[in-house]
Structure 1
Amino acid sequence: MGPIVLLALSWTLMCLVAGCTEGNASSAPSDPAATNTAASGGSDGLDQAVAAIGGTSITRQQLIDRLLANYGAQTLRTLMLRIAVEQEAADQGIEVTEDDIAAELRRMSQGYDSEDQFYDSMREQLGMSPEEVRGDVVYRLKLEQLAILPVKVSDEEISRYIEEHEEEFGPRTELRISHIAVPNSELAKRILGKLEAGEEFKSLAMEYSTDEFTSDAGGDLGWVQTNDPFVAPEVIQTAENLEIGQSAGPIETENGIELIQLTGKNVVQAMDSEEARKQAHRELALGNSISLSDLENQLLAKYGAQILDSSLKS
């Protein structure tokens, strides 16, 4: 998600600068201290206040300066890479089709209840619109295609890979599980009594679970596949037999005692043969190609990337 965050920041910077000439920035109380620390914007709007707190205003220029100081070098590199990859892909005759984009977005949104929930999550966590997520997908797919361009993969290798990774390409069930980890059976039974009395699983997980990584989220383990090696098999086997919303336990695992609740169930259909072979080719080729970061560095050098402002050099 690193590149997608930096792209969001680049859009923020451009929107901030563009906003200077639109005259839409609302005025806030002027403060001499803030004005003195802001770079002079003159009539272009850079000295306009974009926020105020405690009688002190923050100007557009101050905000841009802080963003540039903290993220400018990384964001500038991302923008240069976008240009270099576009030029190289055009030179090599590489195109990303609508089917390619749709398939990648489907892959990225696996584990979410819906595509809309996936986009909502991208907006909430990263501030990215669906169009910006799509733009990042196009960039990444073109970069990958450039990386694997010289790599040869035989039909036999593809067939063998699909056979050896059947769980990746065949139909599979995903479960969304929440759990409460407890130190002893006595506490587990007491919590079960509270559940039977109508108390919420999420609240009890936040109060009693010893799993510090999930307790704040109400014990949510997220979406897991039925062969997930990081979730106790006893937990998965029990969850498979539950209806959504049902709880069960105590379950003894090698990590201790757990109570669980099934909060979601999703059956992922098998890939069709053509899509499976295309994905297998991609995985095999990427495994034998130059790393994407090395390729990015090579493209920056090939197209003569220069940072003309010394303050933006990483």
Structure 2
Amino acid sequence: MGKKQLWMVIGVLILVNCLTIAFSLSKANTAGGTLGNDETVATIGKKSILRQDWLHELESRYGKDVLKEMVDQKVIEEMAAKYHINVSNQDVDREFRMLQSTTNSFTQQNSKDEKGWKEQIRSNLLLEELLTKDVKVPSSELERYYQENKELFDVPPAFHLSHIVLPTQEEADKAVQELNQGSDFSTLAMERSIEEFSANNGGDIGYISEGDERYPGQYIEVAKELKTGSYSMPVKVEEGYAIFKLDGKISGKKYSFADVREQIRRQIALEQMKSPASASTFWDDAKVEWFYGHKEN
């Protein structure tokens, strides 16, 4: 799976995870104290917003996209079974490791759903196999591609970091004292860190690796010296002084040509396709009929 496909995985997961909970509310009823469609979900002065209006707005904005993702998932499963296509756990694990180490999507809040990430990766790999099942690429071309792009198939070492950024060393030293006394790192980050983006997430900045342009190289150097679960003394950074905590790490790994041969074949085949990679290609074969009445392109 190339970088474009990896970002497609992220986009799908963000969309589905954010909206599934909201749409599941439409299944609730008044029994057991759950909200009915005529219940109020918000009041603004003397005006109110009813649950049915809220759900209607959600469906009108996002309903088609969410339903399409659900249909596509089922189509991929049906077609994979029909054409006897499988992907190995090794392939899924490799893509998952790459996704972890090369994106900042894995904060503590969302990295716990490893099963969900891997299911979506498996689905995307199955789709790629379906779309390219009849494509043959000469071994010499596969080998040449690997030799010219070896670095694309290496998983770099990555460190899952959180930080608390404070304006002065005095404030940073005080925060370290509180941590030594048992204060919670994420709580302190939310209360005091001046780096607002990560503070809202308990200081969590996700995984970073060497060459990451989002953060100075000193972040990696500090991370290398920490044990998982430990935190650093204050370190001078551009915004002030930072305290780092290592939440986890991924060891780097290099993959051989044999490991990634099929991935390269799919990648070359997909790059030659004129139409975008989509499960909609198989909707007719899967005999899809849906609420919106026409085939999705």
Q: TM-score, normalised by structure 2?
A: 0.62
One-letter amino acid of the counterpart of residue 267, structure 1? S
Percent of aligned positions with the same letter in both sequences? Answer: 21
Task: Check conservation: 1:179, 1:205, Cα contact below 8 A.
Answer: yes
Tell me the residue number matched to 1:96. 86
DSSP 3-state at the match of 2:213: coil
Report what 2:96 is aligned to: 108
SS in 1 for 2:196: coil
Secondary structure of residue in 2 paired with 1:258: strand
**SS of structure 1 residue aligned to 2:206:** strand
Deviation at 1:234, TM superposition (A): 0.9
The correspondence of residues 112-151 of structure 1 with structure 2, limited to 5 A, is 121-122=112-113, 136-148=120-132, 150=135
Aligned counterparts of 2:172 and 2:183: Cα–Cα separation in 1: 14
Aligned to 2:64: 73
Q: Does 1:242 align with 2:226?
A: yes
Aligned residue for 2:246, secondary structure, equals: strand
Q: Distance in 2 between matches of 1:244 and 1:77?
A: 41
Q: Compute the displacement of 1:208 (Å).
A: 1.6
1:278-300 per-residue CA deviation (whole Å, 9 max, x = no partner) reads: 4444445444444645x444444
Alpha-carbon distance in structure 1 between the residues aligned to 2:196 and 2:257: 42
Shift of 1:213: 1.6
Partner-residue secondary structure (3-state), 2:161: strand
Task: Quote how far apart the aligned CAs of 1:203 are.
Answer: 3.0
Alignment of 1:1-16 (within 5 A): 3=12
Change in CA separation of 1:229 and 1:69 when aligned onto 2, cut-off 3 Å: closer
Where 1:121 maps in the other structure, the secondary structure is coil
Helix, strand or coil: the match of 1:222?
strand
Q: Do the aligned residues in 2 keep the contact of 1:94 with 1:145 (CA within 8 Å)?
A: no
SS at match of 1:154: helix
Aligned twin of 1:38 = none
Contact 1:244 1:265 in 2 (8 A): yes
Higher-Rg member (1/2): 1
* Residue aligned with 2:251, SS: strand
Residue 224 of structure 1 aligns to a residue in which SS? strand
- Given candidates 30, 33, 41, the residue that maps to 1:52 is 33
Distance 1:169 1:278, change over 3 A: farther
Structure 2: how far apart are the matches of 1:118 and 1:105? 20
Q: Give the residue type in structure 1 aligned to 2:65.
A: Q
Mapped to 1, the partners of 2:16 and 2:203 lie a distance apart of 31
**Contact 2:189–2:202, Cα closer than 8 Å, also in 1:** yes
1:219 matched residue in structure 2: 203
Q: Kindly indicate whether the alpha-carbon contact (under 8 Å) linking 2:80 and 2:86 is maintained by their aligned counterparts in 1.
A: no
Matched, 1:161 2:149: yes
Aligned residues: 255
Matched letter for residue 243 of structure 2: L
Give me the whole-angstrom Cα distance separating, in 2, the residues matched to 1:182 and 1:224.
Answer: 21
Rounded to whole Å, the distance in 2 between the matches of 1:197 and 1:135 is: 41
Mapped to 2, the partners of 1:282 and 1:49 lie a distance apart of 50
2: distance between equivalents of 1:251 and 1:105? 35
Query: How far is 1:224 from its partner?
Result: 2.3
Contact residue 96 and residue 118 of structure 2 kept, 8 A: no
What amino acid maps onto 2:85 in structure 1? Answer: E
CA distance in structure 1 between the partners assigned to 2:79 and 2:70 by the alignment: 15
Relative to structure 1, is the Cα distance of residues 245 and 201 closer, same or farther in structure 2, using a 3 angstrom cutoff? same
Gaps of 5+ in 2: 1-9, 39-50, 102-107
TM-aligned CA deviation for residue 267 of structure 1: 2.0
Query: Which structure 1 segments of 5+ residues have no match?
Result: 17-24, 26-47, 124-129
Q: In the TM superposition, what is the alpha-carbon distance from 1:189 to its structure 2 partner?
A: 3.5
Provide closer, same or farther for how the CA distance between residues 141 and 226 of structure 1 changes in structure 2, counting only shifts above 3 A: same
Partner Cα distance (1:287, 1:143) in 2: 14
